[in-house]
Amino acid sequence: MNIPMIYALLGITLFSVGLYGLIVREHLLRKILALNIMGSGIFLVLVALGKRSVGDLPDPVPHAMVITGIVVAVSATALALTLMLKLVEVSGSAVLHDAPKERS
Amino acid sequence: MGGLLSDAHWGVLLILLPLFGGLCSFLWPGAVKFIGLATVSAVALSVVGLGDQLLTTGVYHHAVGGWGAPLGIDLYADGLSLFMLMVNALVGLGVSIYALDYFDQGEARRFWPLWLLLLGGLNALFLSADIFNLYVTLEIVGLAGVGLASLSRSGAALDGAMRYLMATLLGSLCYLLGVALLYHSAGTVDIPLLAERLESTPPVWAALGLICAGLALKTALFPLHFWLPKAHASASAPVSALLSALVVKASFYILLRLWLEIFSVRTEGVDDLLGALGMAAIIWGSLQALQQTRLKLMIAYSTVSQMGYLFLVFPLAAAGAFSAWSAVAYLILSHALAKSSMFLVAGNLMHFGGHDRIADLDRAVQRLPITVGAFALAGVSIMGLPPSGGFIGKWLLLNEALNQGRWDLVIVMMIGGVLAAAYIFKVLGFAFTQAPVTHEPKGVPAIMEWSALLLAVAAIVLGFLASPLMLILGIGETVQLMGAGQ
Amino acid sequence: MEAIDIALGLFDLLLVFLLLWLAWLVMSSEDLFKAIVLFVAFGLLMALVWVRLEAPDIALAEAAIGAGLTGALLMAALDRLNAVKPMPAAAVVTSAKREQPSLPSKVLPLVALVLIVLGLGYALLSLPDVADGLVPNVKEQMAQSGVKNPVTAVLLNFRGYDTLLEMVVLLLALLSVWSLGGVRKLSPRNTNPVLASLCRVLVPVLILVSCYLLWVGADAPGGAFQAGSVLGAAGVLLLLSGWHVEQKILLWPLRFILVLGSGVFIIIAAVLFFTQGGLLTYPVAQAGWLILLLESAATLSIGATLAALFFGGIPKSRVDQ
């Protein structure tokens, strides 16, 4: 097993850890962090597997895709955070209602 | 390089026009309604242009930047894409006209830029032949959808929008990981090339699972529908109409497209799983709809159930191909028209009575005959009674299931029809009776009544247009043509 | 094997271990502030990973956006969250009840996590060891792209259409945030004179760095996204140091800058479409400066959008109320 593959495996593990956090943790801020970690994991898979080329140049196409992905992620994060704050202003809770409420 | 000079690039216009309109409406808030209506009309005309072009010259193909796949991104339109663009244009026009009178000044200024960019994203989605590009369009649709869902800023709307945002982001991420696996399996993100190159290997199965799960979540397939009722029911009426009629169809379209082009020969039982979940959605969604006491929630659960019908295509498509998926395309169009009409009706009733409690509709039929008439006509299509688009779609699907001896699907479809009739007649019943508590009604602007009716009438008229529409759907017969090698 | 390779291999393993540990802590730590700090550290380590994977463009973007701006957004959100009224008493009671989650609800997600890792890991390991991806195609067409940095060539030329749509995504996020009515101002701090004077030095430097990244992006790591996020960071610093702008400037000119990136992209796409017969088909001779033009507009918009997202509020205007 080579180094890029180890990073790719790290990527899917991060994806899964994020997914786990998204499902298990209730605070919306935590869910937003979880989605960001999942995203980082996917970006790792994309780029690490692009290093399997024989030449000296790593595949630039996944690099461009990941830069696109990072911008999409920060956009979604900003929107999610604002939505969370508005929700807290209205409902007083940063947890979606039908789940049991959590403090902090 | 680009196409010949002779063919007009309606497809490119369909993407650039609404995006440009969206930017303009943001820059000139004073003219949003004018810019919005002009843009949506121009989009509708471009769809007609594209339809004319496809009928004469066959599928549309455009290599963006002149590079061509696999390095560049290709645009592609066949009958199925055209059909989805028609859905956008028809529902978009109806809802846009309705929105003219629905929103006050401040809301209109926030609604139009988001809606026009959503329309641009949807059009781009239906024209894309590139799975990574599809991811970006999905994000446009998702973020615009969330912005629209929270437009009214009420507590319920914020709650619904938050659920929707979480679901749509998770769905996108699953889809993106699937795209990453497919890219590294085949060295391309172009759908026709993927169809040629992909083999049945573990990474492809994993990608299939991730993409199906992500898109099923975005399409609210049972049991991943948990976010939909609150998000769709708590949004403003025109927004609910757009979300239920267009946005959930977009992710379903990608799933169907990928299925037909790439995954159909590599399914390993996933088709039956999707079919079974579709059946469960039909029954569960209808039963939930029947129990609702609020009209908008009932309509939203009806969407969960009607989306279930679409998923019956997967077990049927393997053997039936065109006859199966064309039936589903017909269902998409008729559901989009009928469901958007229903949400607009609900908006009228809320405007009229200040609530949407089904039991307190209080002789709405006498006081808002056009609105209730629209609901009844839309209901005919949702129930699948003749003559309506819903009838044709369900009839074709039923035939296909009978031909393939899938009695389980036949029975579930029948039960679904009966349950739909039950929840729709329940509403109509209360619309005729006097409520115990009467209230001060408010007048409903004529434009809002008539646009709802027009959409419902369109859903009925579809019942008479089966042969020309089938001709359109047959353009390029997706299954064989897009994947050049298959 | 050279000693340096072994050392780097050990470094890689250390990074992998640290990232996993940090990700787990971000998810499991009880304190949200701690989770955010750890998340920023996670982002910085990710930037190191990108360097190790020979992806310097991503390393720059990750450091500026992934760790920097996302971290600032998260911190600002936590600050605002704490400023909102404390949780109602009912929430505290139910949270006490939650102390003991049932065993299946604790174990099942963990089992699912392990199964997913194993399944996806198996899928990854069955990929062929060597795959060229699109490397040959990119190499073949680089001369026609108008730039020398392959990542910029992909982002702005080969797959420029993705980037056009991505600019729309960024704008949509801001439109949606504004549509929500904006959020309350960050809890007031006395403007720190040290911070203010630091800003006077740092902001011009950041603007210069941004220009440099934009210019160099054609040939070396850098480009509109990195430049834009550095510009956004300069905006965030200004906002933190209590910078105020005339309301008049914030209305039309700000909106104009926000749509500049996607607007110029769409207009160029349309013009090329009518003159060259193809969407975003640059004539080879003009590709270089067209890309620079697109990137300059995009940089301004990205910087303004990111700073506006951090600010959170809508610039007050009569028309929008």
Q: What are the tens digits of pLDDT across the range B401-424?
A: 999 999 999 999 999 999 999 999
Residue C283 is which amino acid? P
pLDDT in the model for residue B288: 96
pLDDT at C316: 59
CB-based contact B109 C320, cutoff 8 Å: yes
Q: How confident is the model at residue A22, as a pLDDT? A: 95
Question: Hey, what are B461's tokens?
Answer: 């008229």
The tens digit of pLDDT for each residue in C198-246 reads 888 889 999 999 999 999 998 989 999 999 999 999 998 888 877 766 6
CB of A96 within 8 Å of a chain C CB? The answer is no
We report the CATH number of the domain holding residue A81 as 1.10.287.3510
**Contact (Cβ atoms closer than 8 angstroms) between residue B36 and residue B112:** yes
pLDDT band at C320, cuts 50/70/90? very low
φ/ψ of B220, rounded to 5, equals 65, 45
Spell out the residues 6+ positions from residue B118 whose beta carbon is closer than 8 angstroms to its own.
B140, B141, B144, B145, B148, B242, B246, B247
Residue B269 confidence (pLDDT) = 81
In a domain, B486, yes or no: no
Q: Residue A10: inside a domain, yes or no?
A: yes
Secondary structure element (H or E) that encloses residue B62, with its range: strand B60-63
Confirm or reject contact between B177 and chain A (CB < 8 A): yes
Which chain B residues touch A68 with a CB distance below 8 Å?
136
Q: Is residue B376 part of a domain?
A: yes
Please report the pLDDT score of residue C82 as a whole number.
87
Q: Residues B84-92: what's their mean pLDDT?
A: 96
| pLDDT recorded at residue C246 | 63
Contact across the interface for B169 and A76, Cβ inside 8 Å: yes
Mean pLDDT, chain A, integer: 89
Is A50 a domain residue?
yes
Neighbours of chain C (3+ CB pairs under 8 A): A, B
Under the banding of pLDDT at 50, 70 and 90, the label for residue C249 is low
Asked whether the beta carbons of residue C135 and residue A57 sit closer than 8 angstroms, the reply is: yes
Q: Give the residue-averaged pLDDT of C191-195.
A: 72
The residue range of the domain holding A9 is: 3-91
Closest C-alpha among B170, B178, B176 to residue B218: B170
Q: What is the DSSP string of C58-111?
A: HHHHIIIIIIIIHHHHHHHHHHHHHHSPPPPHHHHHHHHHTTS--HHHHHHHHH
Residues A77-96, mean pLDDT to the nearest whole number: 91
Indicate whether B1 belongs to any domain. Answer: no
CB contact under 8 A, C55 and A47: yes
Cβ-nearest to A63 among C57, C78, C91: C57
Residue A103's pLDDT is 36
Q: In this structure, what token pair is assigned to residue C295?
A: 């990137």
Question: How do residues C109-158 score in pLDDT, each as one tens digit?
Answer: 889 899 999 999 999 999 988 888 899 999 999 999 999 999 999 999 99
pLDDT at A98: 66
Per-residue pLDDT, averaged over C71-85, amounts to 88
In angstroms, the separation between the Cα of residue A54 and the nearest Cα of chain B is: 14
Residues of the domain holding B212: 10-481
Instruction: Determine the pLDDT at residue C188.
Output: 57
pLDDT per residue as tens digits for the range B60-82:
999 999 999 899 999 999 999 99
**A67 close contact with B: CB closer than 8 A:** no
pTM of this structure: 0.94
Helices (H), chain C: 3-28, 32-52, 56-61, 70-83, 89-97, 103-125, 135-145, 150-152, 160-179, 193-216, 224-240, 247-250, 252-276, 284-311
Best residue in C154, C168, C178 for a mutation probing chain A (most A CBs within 10 Å): C154
Comparing CB atoms, the residue among A15, A76, A91 nearest residue B177 is A15
pLDDT of amino acid B117: 98
B477 to chain A, any CB pair closer than 8 A? The answer is no
Q: Among C174, C150, C151, C154, which Cα is nearest to C162's?
A: C154
Contact with chain B for residue A2, Cβ under 8 A? no
Query: Stretch C87-91: mean pLDDT, rounded?
Result: 48
B63, β-bridge pairs:
B74
Quote the pLDDT of residue B115: 98
pLDDT of residue B324: 86
**Span B348-373, mean pLDDT?**
89
Q: Is pLDDT above 70 for B33? A: yes
Q: Is residue A96 part of a domain?
A: no
Q: Which residues of C touch B184 (CB under 8 A)?
A: 127, 131, 133
pLDDT digits (tens, 9 = 90+) for C47-68: 999 999 999 999 999 999 888 8
Q: Give how far Cα B465 sits from Cα of A28, B266, B468, B469, Å.
A: 48, 35, 6, 6
Tens of pLDDT, residue by residue over C255-303, are: 999 999 999 999 999 999 888 888 888 998 889 999 999 999 999 999 9
Contact by Cβ (8 Å): B246, B88: yes
Average pLDDT of the segment spanning B336-342: 97
Is there a domain that residue A7 lies in? yes
Q: How many domains does chain B fold into?
A: 1
pLDDT of residue C195: 76
pLDDT at C101: 59
d(CA B231, CA B26): 25
At B7 the pLDDT is 57
> What is the average per-residue pLDDT within A76-91?
94
Please state the φ and ψ torsions of residue C178, each to the nearest 5 degrees: -65, -35
Q: Does C31 touch chain A (CB under 8 A)?
A: yes
pLDDT at B355: 86
Quote the number of domains for chain A. 1
What pLDDT does C86 receive? 57
Mean pLDDT, rounded, for C162-170: 96
Nearest CA in chain B to C180: B153
Most confident of A31-35, C4-8, C181-185, C229-233: A31-35
Report the distance separating Cα B286 and Cα B280, nearest Å: 10
Average pLDDT value for residue range B448-455: 96
> How high is the pLDDT of residue A8?
96
Residue A68 included in any domain: yes
- Report the alpha-carbon distance of residue C217 to residue A98 in Å, rounded: 48
Percent of chain B past pLDDT 90, that is, above it, reads 79
Residue A104 located in a structural domain: no
First to last CA, chain C: 68
Q: Give residue B319's pLDDT.
A: 67
At residue C181 the predicted structure's pLDDT band, cuts being 50, 70 and 90, is confident
Chain A residue at shortest CA distance from C135: A59
Q: Is the pLDDT of residue B138 over 50?
A: yes
Binary contact (A16, C53; C-beta < 8 A)? no
Residue B162 has its nearest CB partner, among A38, A69, A84, at A84
Check CB contact of B147 with chain A, cutoff 8 Å: yes
Residue C103 — pLDDT band, cuts 50, 70, 90?
A: confident
B283-319 residue pLDDT tens: 999 999 999 999 999 999 999 999 999 999 998 887 6
| Number of residues that make up chain B | 486
- Alpha-carbon distance B462 to B465, whole Å? 5
Is the predicted pLDDT of residue C96 greater than 50, yes or no? no
Q: How far apart are the C-alpha atoms of B95 and B241, rounded to whole Å?
A: 7
Find the range with the poorest average confidence among A67-81, C106-120, C178-192, C200-214.
C178-192
- pLDDT above 70 (res C87): no
